[in-house]
Amino acid sequence: MSMTETPEGPRKTVYIETYGCQMNVSDSELMYGSLAAHGYTPVEAPDGADVILVNTCAIRENAETRVIGRLGELKRFMKADTIVGVTGCMAQRLGPRLLDQAKHVSLVVGPDGYRSLPQLLDGARSGERFSATDFDLEEHYEDVVARRFEGVKAWIPVQRGCNYRCTYCIVPYTRGAERSRKLDDVVRETHDVVAQGLSEIVLLGQTVNSYNDGTHDFADLLRAVAAVDGIRRVRYTSPHPNDFSDRVIAAMAEVPEVCEHVHLPMQSGSTSMLKRMLRRYSREDYLASVERLRNAIPGLALTTDIIVGFPGETDAEFEDTLSLCREVRFNDAFMFKFSMREGTPAERMPAEWTVPDAVVTERFDRLLATVRGISRENNMTRLGARVEVLVEKVARDGTLLQARSRDFKTVMVPAESAKIGDYLTVELTGTTGATFTGTPVRDRAPLPMASPMASPMVSTTA
């Protein structure tokens, strides 16, 4: 049944399928919130939904290929009057071309156009087809109440867009220039989150530590949200290595609610490669940022993003990436084979710079083995430590609960020991190399300072 009966009459149902980074997850929560305020009921499956939205990512070619395939598959869930829309970065990038490519799609809406979704859906119901991809640099959706689905933590966007122009990245072209929300608005949303029973927040932005609302910087923001009564953990993603001011590092060090984990995108360990990527820092600058952070925050866990096979990558440049991984000893990394995006500066690089697929694969495998090996070694040294974890969900096997430490370790705990949303102190009793098993302990002895840990993590693109 596609309609939900209410005293006011039937409500239409909406299903949103989300791809890509946490910013997209957060945008889907905003769209659900906006549509719920206009009489739509969120549903968990596309089957027979009145509206199906696919919230897309454009960061890699295979993400887009997947969406095109998925749009075809979704046809079998459509009723005669189902409206299908494509939102997000791929919608922004392709605009009306998507309408030509997929005739059953009625709407193509970029990240700054979600406010008009209810009206666009009304138009689509009368048979119109739209592409809405104008940027709106004032748009922060302040009056839209997000519908959150993740149980124990809230993702709060604090900044949209990006002012960097890394040569491989499509984000500045799909999300426009950087702009920050007002600090008071973020604090108000943090109060709302606490009222919903959540105690952990993750501040989101493409280069989140460059946050500046004209009056307040990211250090002010960290201190302000952490001061909200009921907030126990504050995280953020993703920072840019160049935007760690002394003030931001001091706030991280001084505010107990800010967790001891930084996802610090590196992309390459070679200064010449970083120059071609227009990352605006050298290997030495990156190492200096790591050192400043580690000196200020004992036990800081560091994770990163690395691209393999960017145009012109030489053996020596790749070796620099491996050696930087060994030097920093990351807790974990997102590793990607370079994917050329139409419209980025990398597209204009000489064809002879293209790294052959076989070379990219061989390098990728070596990098993976190096990063995983370091991560395993780091984790082995932590066995026996006691850490605070927040229970997030039932683990995939159904018999354990999955919890998260402050420094972003994934820890499996027995199902009978807690419920979702509980904080526990656990002793780390085993590791698979990537994740831990933990046994709850009763005493509340002071926690030993955590050392760098490995775990899966969420990434945006900075």
Binding string, residues 369-408; x marks residues near ligand SF4 by CB under 6 A: ----------------------------------------
Stretch that binds ligand SF4, among 101-109, 141-149, 167-175, 283-291 (CB under 6 A): 167-175
| 386-394 and 400-405 beta bridge pairing | antiparallel
Interface segment toward ligand SF4; rule CB under 6 A; list 126-134, 166-174, 182-190, 251-259: 166-174
**CB 42, CB 32: distance < 8 Å:** yes
Q: Figure out which of the listed residues 155, 164, 286, 336 binds ligand SF4, where binding follows CB under 6 A.
A: 164
Alpha helices in 10-60 (DSSP H): 22-37
Q: Shortest distance, CB of residue 90 to ligand SF4, whole angstroms? A: 15
Which residue's CB is nearer to ligand SF4, number 200 or number 243?
A: 243
Q: Which distant-in-sequence residues (6+ apart) come within 8 Å of 169 by Cβ?
A: 59, 162, 341, 344, 461
For residues 131 and 96, give the distance between their C-alpha atoms in angstroms, rounded to a whole number.
6
Q: How big is the site for ligand SF4, counted in residues (CB under 6 A)?
A: 12
Please identify, using beta-carbon distances, which residue of 172 and 433 lies nearer to ligand SF4.
Answer: 172
166 binds ligand SF4 (CB under 6 A): yes
Q: Restricting to residues 229-258, which ones interact with ligand SF4 according to CB under 6 A?
A: 240
Nearest distance, CB of residue 72 and ligand SF4, angstroms: 29
In the set 28, 133, 207, 331, which binds ligand SF4 (CB under 6 A)? 207
The tokens describing 160, both together, are 């949209």
Looking at 169, 202, 203, 307, which residue binds ligand SF4 (CB under 6 A)? Answer: 169
What is 383-439 written as a DSSP string? TT-EEEEEEEEE-TTSSEEEEEETT--EEEEEGGG--TT-EEEEEEEEE-SSSEEEE
Beta bridge partner(s), residue 264: none
Binder of ligand SF4 out of 172, 414, 421, 440 (CB under 6 A)? 172
Angle CA(188)–CA(21)–CA(216) in degrees, nearest 5? 35
CB environment 417-448: b (16+ within 10 A), e (fewer):
bbeebeebbbebeebeebbbbbebeeeeeeee
Mark the segment that binds ligand SF4 (CB under 6 A) among 139-147, 168-176, 193-201, 385-393: 168-176
Choose, by CB under 6 A, the member of 105, 121, 146, 171 that binds ligand SF4. Answer: 171
Please say which residue, 171 or 252, places its beta carbon nearer to ligand SF4: 171
Under the binding rule (CB under 6 A), the answer on residue 55 touching ligand SF4 is no
- Nearer Cβ to ligand SF4 (175/223): 175
Contacts 24+ apart (CB under 8 A), 93-97: 93/58, 93/170, 93/173, 93/174, 93/342, 93/343, 95/131, 95/133, 96/131
Residues that bind ligand SF4 (CB under 6 A): 162, 164-166, 169, 171-172, 206-207, 240, 461-462
